Amino acid sequence: MRKVMIAANWKMNTTPREAQTLVSQLLPALDGITGVEVLLCPPFISTVVVSELIKNSGVRLGAQNTYFEDKGAFTGEISPAMLAGMCQYVLLGHSERRGLFGESNQIVNRKIKAAAKHALNPVLCVGESLEDNDAGRTEDVLGAQLRQSLEGISIAEARGLVVAYEPIWAIGTGRAAGGAQANVTIGMLRRTLAGIFDEATAASVRILYGGSANGANIAEFVSQPEIDGALVGGASLKADEFVSMVKQASTAKG
Ligand code: 13P
């Protein structure tokens, strides 16, 4: 059984003080909700304060990115060795990293290997552009992203892997994919994972949907058999809405 995950990607939002306020609103409201793993991914600068605040809760902490070296002359970068012990997860290959900061599948691959070395579970993000979607290239694009990003990753390393399917055209646009459509695409991703690893590994990897997920559509996604939760951007910055999403996700599988 794959445990449903609702992950918050705060992106470049919240000062440390605002992060503290948001977490202090979330924690009491999330207390007692079962069957969902809640993951918060604040900006790096708030990692320490958030990890202190959530340490006696079941809430998990993730980073939004990492570099692939452990230490050295890499000004401005944060290493997996620095995140290990504080974070359990790290988002890798987000389309904003790929599109705005030039991250290739090869870079994402190095980052996944570095994260695995430090027992950080990668949340590998994949997604197609509107142009690729319109041209019927979704399967090819996503397949290449998965295969190249996961090249040389062992089944043991893949055990903690989470994949997030985030169609670029749905991110921050208010135009979410339909639940049924996302379910078909995520089923295809699972078959690709079976080809890369094996059936058992593919059946155990959680695959989330992301892209304009919110309180009004979360149940439509999580109730789908292939969809194991959501990676939430904008709606995760509103405590009430995010809590409502977690609550709905806790009952959506029936
Ligand atoms: P939105 O939920 O704001 O569309 O962002 C999705 C996303 O990119 C999460 O990583």
Q: Is the pLDDT of residue 28 over 90?
A: yes
Q: Each residue of 215-242: pLDDT tens digit?
A: 999 999 999 999 999 999 999 999 999 9
pTM for this model (two decimals): 0.98
Q: Is the CB of 192 under 6 A from ligand 1?
A: no
Q: Which ranges in the chain belong to alpha helices (H)?
A: 16-30, 47-54, 80-83, 95-101, 105-117, 130-134, 138-149, 155-158, 179-196, 199-204, 218-222, 239-252
Q: How confident is the model at residue 17 (pLDDT cuts 50, 70, 90)?
A: very high
Q: Is the pLDDT of residue 78 over 90?
A: yes
Structure token digits, residue 225? 């058999």
DSSP-based helix, strand, coil % in the chain, nearest 5: 50, 15, 35
Q: Is the pLDDT of residue 92 over 90?
A: yes
Q: Each residue of 188-220: pLDDT tens digit?
A: 999 999 999 999 999 999 999 999 999 999 999
Structure token digits, residue 137? 């290239």
Q: Is the CB of 122 under 6 A from ligand 1?
A: no
Q: Which residues are catalytic?
A: 94, 166
Atom number of ligand 1 nearest to Cα 95: 8
Q: Is the pLDDT of residue 159 over 90?
A: no
Q: How confident is the model at residue 75 (pLDDT cuts 50, 70, 90)?
A: very high
- Given a contact cutoff of 8 angstroms between Cβ atoms, the answer to whether 206 and 3 are in contact is yes
Give 131 Cα–ligand 1 centroid separation in angstroms. Answer: 19
Q: Is the CB of 37 under 6 A from ligand 1?
A: no
Atom number of ligand 1 nearest to Cα 125: 10
